[in-house]
A and B are shown apart, each in its own frame.
Chain A
């Protein structure tokens, strides 16, 4: 097989070309050990030609991860040829990478992309002359329109078959060439001729990574150094600057002869758009509108509806096909009303009845039962049966997947434990994975569009000033905004952040924002413990934002985040309409990678928690439990065993501990678990007895900030692409949650006049946080 490496600048149309070359024969993965995406594929026209899409890079310097990944591949994996894609509308800067690739000694073909736009602007590129100047074949293409692509592949295949050794025709100035010749003679003479130049230039630049890779001994290195120093003195600049300058001078000399620009000084479309979009006054309002649109469509309307449908219908009880019979059923339910509650209250001999809200466990005010109501309720029971109206009796009812599987299992008389494992463990786990997908796809569609049209770079430009103070990127805004709806797509949205450091920081802090699933829990705490006070919910969001800001400031000063400062010297690419195919492909790739990479961990964790909560010791010995026997489960035992850990936070009881554990499956589970453990109807009253305001607040804070649900942890694992970093992120979140809970509870207690040994710990924790926030940043460059 012929292995071709696809190399080029970011925004040069490389991804579009790769998609056009390979069609659907693609494999997406990661470069070993790093989060940089690796794409491979085979040529549409010939399975014997394989392409590797290198990361988009501007140079082959040793400083950025992407550049190191790309050059390691080019040097160590020995591709047969390089297909270098350059943006014809931005020829000068794009050729800078070309001059470096040309020195690698690999057969190379340059594909000048966006020729349709070049022609439209009335500009001219003399391809023949460019080819002669660069010393390799040059092909005109338009990746978007699909023109010239096969010609480019033919040229590459020919270059490989012809075994043409690529020798760059460019020579540096006298003293540089002199030094390079010395270097080649001193250390590189064992290498094939065509490979020597790249190494020699890198050694001249004092490239540490190359020096280490070649294991040059100190004496030789000193000898080389003398040559470099002499040259630096002669040209009054440092070695790296000399090489970079001369490359650009060389490019300028080529361009002068083969590139004719028609409209000098005229405003381009991008200029006109940017006059508005990054305008001093309009930039922020426009940004707000774009963000609102993304959030509204992806998280509130279409995306949320799709996810709710998957969770409540497909993986819930079931649904009416196309809504047929839905309104009839709703009418019937309305008519049925509180019949069940009234009748059971009457049976128990009570004079009043209450209803309980499913979502927040809120208990309504008692309603007096009149004789009329009883008569009415009896009539309703007659009409609809004891269970009330059954949705399956109305219209076209499609049962949900769990219901279908349950009836199947019942038919084969499956054992209870196996049925439980399949339904509450596996199906619930798969549902948890797939439930996020529709919403995620809608969101990814937007992100892919914003990214490929060029607006994402402007977001970074507009917001950089605020976010870089917290060690984050301007692009961190989107994950956090999306995190208000759901942390899982929020974390997945971090993919748009180029700098690994900023990305890791954003992944770690995104789930501090209270997501949609935490809202019922916040409502439960605020309703049961704080008498429904509105500031509880508001403060939850402030705590989340505060935690992100403080974490950013603290973490950016730590050793883990010290390395490679991401230079924010960023291109603002020209705006262009992305193709539907590319946007859809990017959307699907990200969605699929979530299912594949995060799915396993989510499924396994769900099964674990299922086993712990449905098995335990009852009078009959160890065995499977009913749903309301949670207090006899392994989980309850575990909760009692570790509840002491949370005593300093004011809620060291096993119920709250168990609820926090079940919250790891999904945060809304905390409400259900509290409902079971604090006795059904009087949950709110019982909780109010068990918690005071301070312990309630610390319970709320801990669960808001601690490790997110398994789905989000799976997403973290997927995006970190490293077990170590995933563990660090989750540990950090739990520790931060604990410390904030501790400070709030202990200092709150101290202020209300109850001192103790805990107060000391509270003060110590606060002092620690303040120190971490304000200590000097010794890694700052």
Chain B
């Protein structure tokens, strides 16, 4: 299951970040690391990107990139 599959209101935990390179590093730098709990706040009005709350702040991430984030509920 990936971050992309979650619905607004869902809370989940990061299992691992797949892929490599700049985007993966950025996702991790922003605090989405293994074991981090977060919740999905909302989806943008046009359906993409999604807004999540992680480490006490709001982060927006495109669905395409969200697929790299493997999660468990």
Contact = CB atoms under 8 A, between A and B. Distances in A.
Interface stretch (A25-33, A512-520, A567-575): A567-575
Nearest to A235: B34
Contacts of A468: 62
Interface residues of A, number: 42
Contacts of B43: 280
Given A96-B31, A461-B60, A63 B22 contact: yes
B44 A461 contact: yes
A237 interface: yes
A64 B25 CA distance: 10
Contact of A244 (B21, B29, B48, B51): B29
Given A92-B56, A248-B36, A281 B45 contact: yes
B65 interface: yes
Contact of A570 (B25, B28, B33, B59): B59
Q: For chain B, what secondary structure do more than half of its interface residues adopt (helix, strand, loop), or is it mixed?
A: mixed
B62 A572 contact: no
A92 B55 contact: yes
Contact of B51 (A92, A461, A463, A781): A461
A568 B63 CA distance: 10
A283 interface: yes
A253 to B, nearest CB: 13
Interface in A460-510: 461-466, 468
Contact of A569 (B27, B35, B44): B27
A572 B56 contact: no
Given A568-B65, A570-B60, A61 B25 contact: yes
A58 interface: yes
A63 B29 CA distance: 11
A93 B45 contact: no
A268 B28 CA distance: 25
A466 B46 contact: yes
A564 to B, nearest CB: 7
Interface string A241-265: 1001100100000000000000000
A629 interface: no
Contact of B45 (A64, A280, A781): A280
A241 B29 CA distance: 9
B58 A569 contact: no
A579 interface: no
B6 to A, nearest CB: 16
Interface residues of B, number: 36
B27 A93 contact: no
Interface in B1-34: 16-17, 20-31, 33-34
A567 B49 CA distance: 12
A571 B17 CA distance: 19
A556 B27 CA distance: 23
Contact of A568 (B42, B46, B58, B62): B62
A241 B34 contact: yes
Interface in A438-472: 461-466, 468
A680 to B, nearest CB: 53
B34 A237 contact: yes
A280 B26 contact: no
A278 interface: yes
B59 A59 contact: no
Contacts of A240: 24-25, 28
A569 B23 contact: yes
Nearest to A100: B29
Contacts of B23: 565, 567, 569, 781
A90 B51 contact: no
B34 A96 contact: no
5 contacts: A64-B22, A248-B55, A283-B44, A283-B45, A569-B65
Interface of A: 58-59, 61, 63-64, 90, 92-93, 96, 237-238, 240-241, 244-245, 248, 270, 274, 278-281, 283-284, 461-466, 468, 564-565, 567-574, 781
Given A244-B28, A462-B45, 6 more contacts: A63-B26, A92-B56, A93-B57, A237-B34, A248-B31, A569-B59
Interface of B: 16-17, 20-31, 33-36, 42-49, 51, 55-62, 65
Closest 6 CB pairs of A and B: A63-B22, A59-B29, A572-B58, A465-B46, A567-B26, A244-B28
